Amino acid sequence: MTKLLAVLQAGLAVILFLIAAATLVNMVLIAMRPETISVVNTIIGQTVMIVCLVALGRILWRKGIARFNAATSDSTDSAVDKAIDA
């Protein structure tokens, strides 16, 4: 169950990174429009959104990888312990 949760966290992190990249592309396309206050507000809002998405994705990625490594080492340790006890 721990490995499943770790894979889900890492997968969600990848999805968040992809959403951030898509938002960045959208921001570049919006920046090509004539300069108005709406365009400026959109650029500011999307910049904040990209920063938040990347930060959340980084947290989920690190926790997912750490959880996966911990689950892998726990299963390896328990297998070694069973082999030693036998």
- pLDDT of the residue at 70: 92
Q: Render pLDDT for 3-24 as a digit per residue (tens, 0 to 9).
A: 999 999 999 999 999 999 999 9
First-to-last C-alpha distance (Å) of the chain = 26
Tokens 């082999």, residue? Answer: 83
Q: Do residues 71 and 10 make contact, with C-beta atoms less than 8 angstroms apart?
A: no
Separation of alpha carbons 25 and 31, rounded Å: 10
Q: Do residues 86 and 39 make contact, with C-beta atoms less than 8 angstroms apart?
A: no
The pTM is what?
A: 0.79
Please determine, for residue 80, whether its predicted confidence score (pLDDT) is greater than 70: no
- pLDDT of the residue at 41: 94
SS3 12: helix
Q: Render pLDDT for 27-71 as a digit per residue (tens, 0 to 9).
A: 999 989 888 899 999 999 999 999 999 999 999 999 999 999 998
Per-residue confidence band for 77, with pLDDT thresholds at 50, 70 and 90: low
Q: Do residues 16 and 57 make contact, with C-beta atoms less than 8 angstroms apart?
A: yes
